[in-house]
Structure 1
Amino acid sequence: MFMKALLAFIPISLVLKYGVHAPPMWIFFTAVLAIVPLADWLRKATEHVAVHAGPTIGGLLNVTFGNMAELIIAIFILISGNTQVVKAQITGSIIGNALLGLGLAIVAAGFVKGGGRQKFNAANAGQLSAMLFLTVITLTLPAIFDYTEQLPAFAAEAGTRANLDERLSIGVAILLIVVYLLNLVYTLVTHKDVFAAPEGEAGHGHGPENPWSLPVALGVLLGGTALIALESEMLSGALEATASTLGLSEFFLGIIVLAIVGNFAEYLAAVYFARKGQMDLAVNIGLGATIQVALLTAPLLVIIGALLGHPMNLVFSSPLELIAIIAVALIVTSVTKDGETTWFEGVLLIAVYIALALAFYFVTPRGAEEAGLILRALGA
């Protein structure tokens, strides 16, 4: 019911933008609220198409459209030339899915079960945790490389360094996509029995009870994608003015607001399945979405940016972003390594997210740049 009510913001946002030419802040927030239900309908349509396509193709469809809303938002912001906001959105999605989304799911499951322990597939969680550490390595490597090129011993010129950063980022992006595809083969084909949901969950959450016909599902999928693209274009155009009006940095809007909007459907799905006692599905959604952002969405944005003439590298200029990504891998591994959780561990994940959000609220792009300069000075 909540999602259906939010659909009203689709025509409202269009009227504000093209009818009355409302202030950018109104357009920004109505577009944000319109994208939330559209992302949820995109997820539902993918599930209905998967019923007709089979489990393997269905898994591939979930990969393709699972983060479509977030990808489309990022592409329009990338086209506008604001690569720092795109990278902030990537960081925000990684920490949001793994900390906020998974944390809410664990808390919800804990209270439903009266505070007991919730069990899930430890092998699957361990695989996802290992990929999180791969994410840490590959996303920090370009930043360390950029820092190295600024040391007196190397002293690469700014233009040369930017070119090297871009080439390294493209190489890393291709590597990450290959690893992600191999992970799909591993989990969906060669070792699918290891990662299958327990028998009690097999009939739930893997497909709707009353599936739509294939034409209807495809129509919703294509129509939802088109509407998300339209709303994303409106949102990206109003981003700078909204940040100025609210006295916030575009960096904060990207790392918190846009990241939550792009992944809100995943949060709801994770909580929904957790409340039904299907923790394997909840963990898969929370951590799987995190992995998908890091190993697929971010690399795709690097390649798309190069093709569109708006190059984006994977060098995160703010040390705080790198610390946040490292923190995610450490605490998520600590919480999920034994294959069971309690509601308090969910609270811990949410607390880390709130602490990071507060830091991102007070930091500014200029502050991040100055922090980077201090670190370089100390290194020199």
Structure 2
Amino acid sequence: MFMNALLAFIPISLLLEYVFHAPPLWVFFTAVLAIVPLADWLRKATEHVAVHAGPTIGGLLNVTFGNMAELIIAIFILISGNTQVVKAQITGSIIGNALLGLGLAIVVAGFANRGERQKFNAANAGQLSAMLFLTVITLTLPAIFDYTEQLPAFAADAGTRTNLDENLSLGVAVILIVVYLLNLVYTLVTHKDVFAVAEGGHGHGPDKPWSLPVALGVLLGGTALIALESEMLSGALEATASTLGLSEFFLGIIVLAVVGNFAEYIAATYFARRGQMDLAVNIGIGATVQVALLTAPLLVIIGYVLGHPMNLVFSSPLELIAIIAVALIVTSVTKDGETTWFEGVLLLAVYLALALAFYFVTPRGAEAAEGAALALRSLMG
């Protein structure tokens, strides 16, 4: 009901942008609120198409459209040339899915089931955790490479270093996409029985499936509307950040990442509340893996094709620490195949601590630091 109510922001945002020419801040937040229910309807439509297409095709559709809202938002921001915000959105999606989404699901499951320990398939969670560590290696490697090229022993000039970063990122992107495709073959073809057992018996499909034309219509219509809202959102991003006194980096890593993945949070929490922790864990960690191994590499390749090249060099140490923290704490929480509500609290605590750090990496934080430095110099002078 709440999601359907948010659909009202679709016409509101369009009127504000094209009729009333409202301030960018209004357009930005109404577009954000419009994308949230559209992403959820995209998820629903995918589930209904999967009923008609079968489990294998359905799995591929879930992969294709699972992060469609996030991908479309990132593409429009990439076209505007703001690659740092795109990379911030990638980082935000990784930490958001694994810490915020999974953390909320575990807490909800704990309280919905009177504090009992919730069990899930440890082997499946272990495979996902291994892929998380692959994410850590492949996303930190370009940053370390870039730093190495700046050392006196190498001392590559800025132009050469940029070309090398782009070439390395394209190579890493291809590797990640190949690994992700092989993972699909593993889970949907060669070992589908193992994963069917892990997810079976839950009855998580739609009770009354839509007809195939209706499901496809919702899928295509939702995608088109998300693209329209994303274009408005990207156009208002810079002015919104300036008005709020925040950095575009913070809006990308927290706001845009949450908006693009909100449907996953809702789905993981819904299944967790029903005691279906296998599905909740698969959604939380699986969405994180999908962002790192599919969405991010696709954005690198799309940027290259569109003439807006983006590398995978995460220049902020905070981003690298955040990605490493995700792999470590998620593996620690899920390695025994069971969770309690307090472990969900731990995930949420890490997310909030990281969000707070990212908040202070803003113009507001920089101004405060500069003011403190000036005050200190005046006292010493």
AA of the residue aligned to 1:166: E
> What is aligned with 1:246?
244
> What is aligned with 1:97?
97
> What is aligned with 1:219?
217
TM-score (norm 1): 0.95
Distance 2:306 2:365 in 1: 30
AA of the residue aligned to 1:79: I
8 Å Cα contact 2:246/2:363 also seen in 1: no
Distance 1:184 1:356 in 2: 31
Distance 2:319 2:363 in 1: 12
TM-score (norm 2): 0.95
| Mapping of residues 156-235 of structure 1, within 5 Å | 156-198=156-198, 201-205=200-204, 207-235=205-233
Deviation sequence 1:76-123 (CA, Å, 0-9, x none): 000000000000000000000000000000000000111010000001
8 Å Cα contact 2:245/2:363 also seen in 1: no
SS in 1 for 2:192: coil
Distance 2:334 2:196 in 1: 17
> What is aligned with 1:373?
none
Distance 1:84 1:76 in 2: 13
- Residue from 340, 347, 350 that aligns with 1:349: 347
> What is aligned with 1:23?
23
- When the two chains are superposed, the root-mean-square deviation of aligned CA atoms in Å is 1.2
Distance 1:100 1:336 in 2: 15
AA of the residue aligned to 2:127: Q
Deviation at 1:187, TM superposition (A): 1.0
Distance 1:99 1:198 in 2: 22
AA of the residue aligned to 2:258: I
AA of the residue aligned to 1:160: T
1:82 aligns with 2:82: yes
8 Å Cα contact 1:28/1:235 also seen in 2: yes
- Residue from 254, 264, 267 that aligns with 2:265: 267
Deviation sequence 1:268-327 (CA, Å, 0-9, x none): 000000000000000010001000000000000000000000000000010000000000
Distance 2:140 2:365 in 1: 20
**CA spacing shift, 1:365–1:70, aligned 2, 3 Å:** farther
8 Å Cα contact 1:110/1:116 also seen in 2: yes
> What is aligned with 1:375?
none
8 Å Cα contact 1:121/1:195 also seen in 2: no
8 Å Cα contact 1:251/1:365 also seen in 2: no
Deviation sequence 1:109-139 (CA, Å, 0-9, x none): 0001110100000011000000000000000
> What is aligned with 1:48?
48
Distance 1:197 1:108 in 2: 24
| Mapping of residues 288-303 of structure 1, within 5 Å | 288-303=286-301
1:151 aligns with 2:151: yes
SS in 1 for 2:5: helix
Distance 1:187 1:265 in 2: 23
Deviation at 1:188, TM superposition (A): 1.2
AA of the residue aligned to 2:211: S
Deviation at 1:190, TM superposition (A): 1.0
Deviation sequence 1:188-217 (CA, Å, 0-9, x none): 111122223447x52421x21100000000
AA of the residue aligned to 1:117: R
Distance 1:34 1:133 in 2: 34
8 Å Cα contact 2:246/2:364 also seen in 1: no
- How many positions carry a matched residue from both structures? 366
Q: Which runs of 5+ in 1 are unaligned?
A: 369-380
**CA spacing shift, 1:66–1:142, aligned 2, 3 Å:** same
8 Å Cα contact 1:93/1:263 also seen in 2: yes
| Mapping of residues 309-348 of structure 1, within 5 Å | 309-348=307-346
1:67 aligns with 2:67: yes
8 Å Cα contact 2:102/2:285 also seen in 1: yes
SS in 1 for 2:196: coil
SS in 2 for 1:193: helix
Deviation at 1:363, TM superposition (A): 1.0
Percentage of pairs with the same residue: 90
> What is aligned with 1:7?
7
Deviation sequence 1:238-297 (CA, Å, 0-9, x none): 000000000000000000000000000000000000000000000010001000000000
AA of the residue aligned to 2:274: K
Deviation at 1:366, TM superposition (A): 11
8 Å Cα contact 1:123/1:195 also seen in 2: no
AA of the residue aligned to 1:162: T
AA of the residue aligned to 1:112: A
**CA spacing shift, 1:367–1:159, aligned 2, 3 Å:** farther
Distance 1:148 1:365 in 2: 29
Displaced runs of 4+ in structure 1, greater than 2 A?
193-199, 364-368
SS in 2 for 1:262: helix
Distance 1:93 1:330 in 2: 17
Distance 1:121 1:365 in 2: 45
Distance 2:235 2:29 in 1: 12
